[in-house]
Amino acid sequence: MFSRSVRLFGLLGCMTSILFSNAHAERRGFLETIHRHKTLASTSPGNGDLNPYAIVPVPHDMGILHKDDVLITNFNNINNLQGTGTTIVAYSPQTKNISVFADLPPNLPSCPGGIGLTTALTVLKSGWVIVGSAPSKDGSTRTRGEGCMIVLDANGKLVTTWKGPDISAPWGDIALKDNGDTASLFVSMSGFDLPGPNVLDPTTHYPPILQKATVMRFDLTIPKGQPPAIAHQTVIARGFSARADRDNYLFGPTGLALDDDGTLYVTDGYDNEVTAIDDALHRTNPILRKDDAVGRVITKGGLLNWPLAMMWVPGHHLLIANGRNGQVVEIDPAAKKQIYAQWVDNDQAQQPPGNGDLFGLAMTPDNTGFYYVEDDMNTLNLSAP
C-alpha cells in the first residue's frame, strides 16, 4: 500500500522489546525469545500483484503443495488498486522460492463484484483451500462488491464459491476447528452498507462509522473426495465497527483466534480492542444485547495501535500485528493483560515507524518463530530466536 525509499534499523531497535510493566527476571512471554528478523522472499508474482495479506502454512503434502509451504494472498493488482488482487502465492522453505498457487479471473461471475483476495484464508486437513474476496473496481469501497468465499482444490483450481446476504467483504483471519470430515470456520464480514471514502460524516468530516460488521460461523461437511459443503451458517456476533478508508480500503474486525474451550477472540481495529466471544462453536442465534453483541472486552488501548492479524503463540498467549506501527503485541488473554510489544518493522519512512506495513501472521512449523508480511515492500519475513 505504501512505498519505501530507505530502510533504517537502529533508532527504535528492531529487536528491542517495549515493556508494558516493570521488568521481571523470569521470562514472561514468547517475544522475549525473538531476536532475529529477516526477509525471506518477494510475494509479488509474475502478474505484478501487490499488497500481501494472509499467511497460512500448509499442514501436509496435498496436490501441488508440500508440508510447511506458506500460502500468501495478494490484495492489490499491478496498478496498486486495493480489492483487485487475484493471486495466492506459495513460499517453499526448502527451495526458498515463491510460486503461484492460484490465479483467479478478476471478474469471476460467481463472486459478486469479482476478486480481491483478503486475509480470510485457510487450508483444510482434507486438502481444500478457502479464501475470501472483498472486491473493488477502482481500489476503493466506492465500487466495492459484496464478495464471496472461494473454495479451491489442492492444485489451486476453482471449485465453487459461497455468497449470500450474510456475506459482505469477508475480511479477517479465518479461525478454524477442523475435524477432517467436518469443520467450523469463522470469518468476519466488514462490507455491509459501506459507502465510498468520499462520503463524509457532517460532524466528524471523516467517513461514517457503521456498527454493522459481523462474525460468521460456517459449519461444514466434507465428504471424502468431495469439496466442503455448508451445513449451517450462523452470525454469532454483530455490531463491530467498520469504516471506509481511502488509504486502507476499510477498517473492520480482522484477527480471529479460536481457543480450545470454544472462545473466539477478535481484534477490532477501529475501536482498538480485543474481545472474546464465548461458546463460539455452539452459538445458534445472533447476540442482540449491546453489552454482549461483540463479546467481552479483553484488552483495549495501551500498546494496541489498530490491531489486525492475531494468532496463538507458546505460553497460551496471543500475538497481534499493529496496523499503525511496526510492532507486534503479545497479550495474555486469561489475565487480560498486555505483556509487551516488539518492533519487527521500524522503518523510518513511515510515521510512526512501520505504519501500514504489517498484516498477516503465522507460526513457523517448529513453533519457535513466526512469519509476517511487510505489505509496502511485498515481502514475506521471518522473526526467530
Q: What is the pLDDT of residue 9?
A: 38
In tens, the pLDDT along 292-338 reads 688 999 999 999 999 999 999 999 999 999 999 999 999 999 999 99
| pLDDT value at residue 290 | 53
Cα 282 to Cα 186, 218, 298, 361, distances in angstroms: 12, 11, 21, 27
Q: How much is the average pLDDT of 340-354?
A: 90
Q: What is the pLDDT of residue 286?
A: 57
pLDDT of residue 350: 84
Cα 256 versus chain centre, distance: 8
3-class DSSP state for residue 275? strand
Average pLDDT over residues 225-246: 95
Residue (of 54, 38, 163) closest to 102 by Cα position: 54
Domain ranges of the chain: 17-384
- H or E stretch covering 380: strand 379-384
Q: In this structure, what C-alpha cell is assigned to residue 44?
A: 509479488
Whether the pLDDT of residue 13 is over 90: the answer is no
Cell numbers found for residue 33: 525469545
C-alpha cell at 11: 533508532
Cβ-proximal residues to 138 (8 Å cutoff; 6+ apart), any chain: 81
C-alpha cell at 373: 508480511
pLDDT given at position 26:
65
pLDDT of residue 353: 87
Q: What is the pLDDT of residues 61-106, one digit of tens each?
A: 999 999 999 999 999 999 999 999 999 999 999 999 999 999 999 9
pLDDT at 115: 98
Peptide bond into 352 cis (omega under 30): yes
Note the pLDDT of residue 28: 83
User: Which residue from 14, 55, 23, 44 is spatially nearest to 255, judged by alpha carbons?
Assistant: 55
Q: What is the pLDDT of residues 283-302, one digit of tens each?
A: 886 555 455 688 999 999 99
Residue 374 has pLDDT above 90, yes or no: yes
The predicted structure's pLDDT at residue 16:
41
> What does the alpha-carbon distance between residue 195 and residue 130 come to, in Å, rounded to a whole number?
27
118 closest CA partner among 207, 51, 37, 215: 51
Indicate the range of 41-55, 261-275, 277-291 predicted with least confidence.
277-291
Residue 283 vs residue 48, higher pLDDT: 48
What's the rounded Cα separation, in Å, for the pair 236 and 278? 10
The dihedral through the CA atoms of 170, 171, 177, 179 has a sign that is positive
d(CA 75, CA 87): 8
Phi, psi (rounded to 5 degrees) for 180: 95, -70
Enter the CATH code of domain 17-384: 2.120.10.30
Quick one: pLDDT at residue 31?
Answer: 97
Question: What mean pLDDT, rounded, does the chain reach?
Answer: 92
Name the pLDDT band for 17 (thresholds 50, 70, 90): very low
Q: What confidence category does residue 7 fall into, taking pLDDT thresholds of 50, 70 and 90?
A: very low
Write down the pLDDT at residue 293: 83
